[in-house]
Amino acid sequence: MITRFGTSVRARLTLFASAAMALLCVVVNSYVLYAVYHATANFQMVTVEDSALRVVHLIERDQLPRVLPAGLVSVQVVDSGGRVTSATGDLAGVPRISTLEPRPDSAKAVREVCDLPGFPGQCNLVLVFRAYQQDGDWLVYSTEKLTPWFVSPAVPAFLIGLSLGLVGLTWFGVSRVVARTLAPVDRIRACLAEISAGGGRGMRVPAPETDDEIRALAVTANQTLERLEAAMEQQRRFAADASHDLRSPITAMRAQIEEALLHPRETDWQRTAREVLSSLDRLQNIVTDLLTVAKLDAGAPATEEPVDLAELVSLETARERSKPVTTTLQPGVVVTGDRLRLARLLTNLLDNAERHAESMIVVVVRKDGQAALEVLDDGAGIAPDQREAVFRRFTRLDASRSRDAGGTGLGLPIAREIAEAHHGTLTIEDSASGARFVLRLPLREG
């Protein structure tokens, strides 16, 4: 599991979700507290007003007692002369609590007042009603302690507790969900770390059963590992084959030089020099092909220009070869590609045909919906089950090893890679005799 709290995705998502929940709780609690406060304040106003109206009703019926009955808020009655004539029990003996009076055109007035007589150190809601009497207007004061903004300590305590519970539940829930979601990622990371350390484990990562983005990541990673494994295997084979083919001419040159040095007077130095030069030529061909392979594998950029295949064949077949070359060239077969690489492809095919032909080589350029270039020889040919094997690097068939001492095993693989780089194909097709290599490339538009 991911344990680095400060930098882990799990910790960041959990913290973000908890902060969002806390912010939501603050907003909701503020609204709830505001609503509760205003509901309570309105209820208090109704209660204070109801108590004052009940006393006004008693005055109008001339039933006002000296001490008002229980069930009322703090009420005090002042007659037209300014004397306190009646009050609730908590205001008995208390002087007039306020000088607040309604406006001449109104029967009621309301005010918030602090430090009233009988209520030191607190703020009250004071409501006064005018009661009309024959000797003048009487005033009925009704008062109650103001409702605080938090209404009651229990209200914010409840809201804070509920908010802490929701934040804690969010933290726990998101942490568990993210942990379970990221568990496959952690297993993939552990598997990749083991693969990097050389553990192997089949070079694959576990793919979760869920059909989501993480499974897609695992599948893509396995596809990448599969290609990497194939590339590594190809690299190992390439390194083994290259070392063997490089070692052969070097070993031959060393043996020739050592033999000549053992018998310097009996050695034909010109023959030895020619043999060493032949080995050097083979070594140079191998190195040149290896460099070409490295460039193709690295995806070295190629130029794109119109190339007339008939013209290219004419130029490449003009060089004298040990076997005669017959050409059948259809004009106007133009493709888009790198002229030097296409020339290298044709040269490799011609060199291969020259080594295996009995008496002649045939080159054909034609159109068949695509640009087609054929190189045929009248040699022993290639069995159908071995036609793909010759395109693998450093592969030379047993029949050809006895008569193909100068081949590097890279000419045909390089030719196919050049064809594929030009969005074409290079295959071996049936022929009456010998081998028939067919290159197909897209025709140049226009």
pLDDT band for 140, please (50, 70, 90 cuts): very high
Q: What is d(CA 290, CA 407) in angstroms, rounded to the nearest whole number?
A: 13
Residue 405, pLDDT > 60, answer no
Contacts of 359 (CB under 8 A, 6+ apart): 323, 324, 378
The whole-number pLDDT of residue 397 equals 63
> Could you tell me whether strands 361-367 and 325-329 are parallel, antiparallel, or unpaired per DSSP bridges?
parallel
What confidence score (pLDDT) does residue 263 get? 84
Q: Count CA within 13 A, CB hemisphere, residue 186.
A: 13
Segments in 197-321 forming alpha helices (H): 213-262, 269-297, 309-317
Nearest to 143 by CA among 106, 86, 90, 103: 90
User: pTM (2 decimals)?
Assistant: 0.53
Q: Residue 54 pLDDT > 80, yes or no?
A: yes
Q: Report pLDDT for 241.
A: 67
Helix (H, G, I), strand (E, B) or coil at 422: coil
- Check residues 426 and 271 and name the one with the higher pLDDT: 426
First to last CA, the chain: 61
286 token code pair: 């191998």
Q: Which domains does the chain have, with CATH numbers?
A: 11-145 (3.30.450), 207-298 (1.10.287.130), 305-441 (3.30.565.10)
pLDDT for 162 equals 95
Name which residue leads in pLDDT, 392 or 4.
Answer: 392
pLDDT 10s digits, 150-170:
999 999 999 999 999 999 999
Residue 6 has a pLDDT of 52
In degrees rounded to 5, what are phi and psi of residue 152?
Answer: -155, 145
Mean pLDDT calculated for residue range 133-142: 90
b/e code 397-435 from CB counts within 10 Å (16+ = b) = eeebeeeeeebbbbbbbbbbbbbebbebebebeebeebb
Of 145-159, 362-376, 396-410, 431-445, the least confident? 396-410
Percent of the residues in the chain that have a pLDDT greater than 90, as a whole number: 45
Give the pLDDT confidence of 231-268 residue by residue, as tens digits: 777 777 777 767 766 777 888 888 888 888 888 888 88
Q: Residue 357, Cβ neighbours under 10 Å: how many?
A: 23
Q: Say which residue, 7 or 152, is predicted with more confidence.
A: 152
pLDDT of residue 398: 55
Q: Say yes or no to pLDDT of 403 above 50.
A: no
pLDDT one-digit tens code per residue, 267-286: 888 888 888 888 888 788 77
Q: Is 70 helix (H, G, I), strand (E, B) or coil?
A: coil
- Per the model's pLDDT, the better-predicted residue between 406 and 43 turns out to be 43
Segment 8-37, tens digit of pLDDT: 788 889 999 999 999 999 999 999 999 999
Whether 406 shows a pLDDT value over 60: the answer reads: no
pLDDT number for residue 330 = 92
Structure tokens at 103: 């406006």
pLDDT in tens, 80-127: 989 999 999 999 889 999 999 999 889 999 999 999 998 998 999 999
Higher pLDDT, 72 or 2: 72
Checking if the pLDDT of 368 tops 70, the result is yes
Q: 343 pLDDT exceeds 70?
A: yes
CA pair distance 446, 441, nearest whole angstrom: 15
Cβ atoms 409, 396 nearer than 8 A = yes
Tokens at 59, concatenated: 């005055």
Between residues 243 and 309, which one has the greater pLDDT? 309
The tokens describing 350, both together, are 């011609």
pLDDT computed for residue 86 by the predictor = 94
**What local confidence, expressed as pLDDT, does residue 401 receive?**
43
